[in-house]
Amino acid sequence: MKKILILLAAVLVLSGCERVREARENRTAASVPQASIFAVNTTTAVQGQIQDYIALSGDIIAGSTVDVFSDAAGRIANVHVNVGQRVNRGDRIASVDPSRPGMTFRLSVATAPIAGTVVALPGQVGMTVTQAVPLARIAGGSALQVRLYVAERFISKMAMNLPCEITFDAWPGEVFRGSISEIAPTVDPASRTMELRVNVQDIGSRIKTGMFAKVRIITERKNSIVKIPASALLNRFGEQYLYVIEDDPEDPSRNIVRKRNVVPGILIDGVLEIQSGLSPSEEIVVRGQTLLEDGALVNIIERVAPLSN
């Protein structure tokens, strides 16, 4: 019995020691901090084009117009055309009766000096006109222009033949092309603006004079640059940087971030040019980066589609 009791006591002592050792190991493991994993959204840097622009709005006007006058003063007897009608050179526009009380004269017929479209008829039947009063206005050819006014602070960026993108509420989603064709030599001292004319290309018959147009004048265009969403860039304590996704060297199945200082360029509509510090196709954090530090573990929740080229 003594031997049995001694053996049982030894087993109990060993068991208790094992439990104490396990409890100590568990406390030690619990005291070791676990690395935090941050949830982020990412995208890929792309190489492409970025362009700076000035947004303006204006009205469509005829590219060139000619007024029609009568050779004689008198009363307008007939108007032979309508607004919007296409006329050829020499077509009758209006007839003026130069007769006076007690004197009857032949009608004086005013004809079109050029081929084009009648855009205005200030002369109406029954009006008394002189040789200085226009009877009609004709827009020559099919060229149309947008008349714009640019603020004085942007004048230095204006130049002939700058490309333009033109949109109309009447044709949503469609972009027409054009370029600056005229620049006024003076600035209006009252409004501090300068008048511009922009040619509109390949419009067919869809665009009419008097329509409202929205115009983007492209003042700078860069090709083959690295661009990213502007939300990816952080600016703190004089540093401009972002976080790039890399594989964890200790466990390639996990992702970490590396802080990368960059040199930003122009910013247009939320798209940022990166002049140096980042290469195309590198994966960067665009959301959730405010709490990150260099080497932090991350869990990629969503990969956002890259910007278009």
Q: How high is the pLDDT of residue 301? A: 94
Q: How far is CA 31 from CA 10, 108, 109, 182, in A?
A: 32, 108, 106, 76
The per-residue pLDDT for 83 is: 87
218 with 165: CB under 8 angstroms?
yes
Stretch among 31-45, 68-82, 91-105, 172-186 having the lowest mean pLDDT:
31-45
Kindly report which listed range (140-154, 215-229, 234-248) carries the lowest average pLDDT score: 140-154
b/e map 197-221, b = 16+ CB within 10 Å: bbbbeebeeebebebebebbbebee
pLDDT of 140 higher than 80: no
Residue 88 pLDDT greater than 80, yes or no = yes
Average pLDDT, whole number, for the chain? Answer: 87
Grade residue 209 by pLDDT with cuts at 50, 70 and 90: confident
Mean pLDDT in residue range 150-167: 94
Mean pLDDT of 81-90: 89
Q: Among 143-152, 158-167, 277-286, name the one with the lowest average pLDDT.
A: 143-152
Residue 26: its pLDDT value, please? Answer: 59
Residue 20 has what pLDDT? 53
Residue-wise pLDDT for 4-57, tens only, equals 666 666 555 555 556 656 656 555 544 445 668 999 999 999 999 999 999 999
pLDDT given for residue 117 in this prediction:
82
Please determine, for residue 98, whether its predicted confidence score (pLDDT) is greater than 70: yes
CB 178 within 8 A of CB 200: yes
* Number of residues that this document lists for the chain: 309
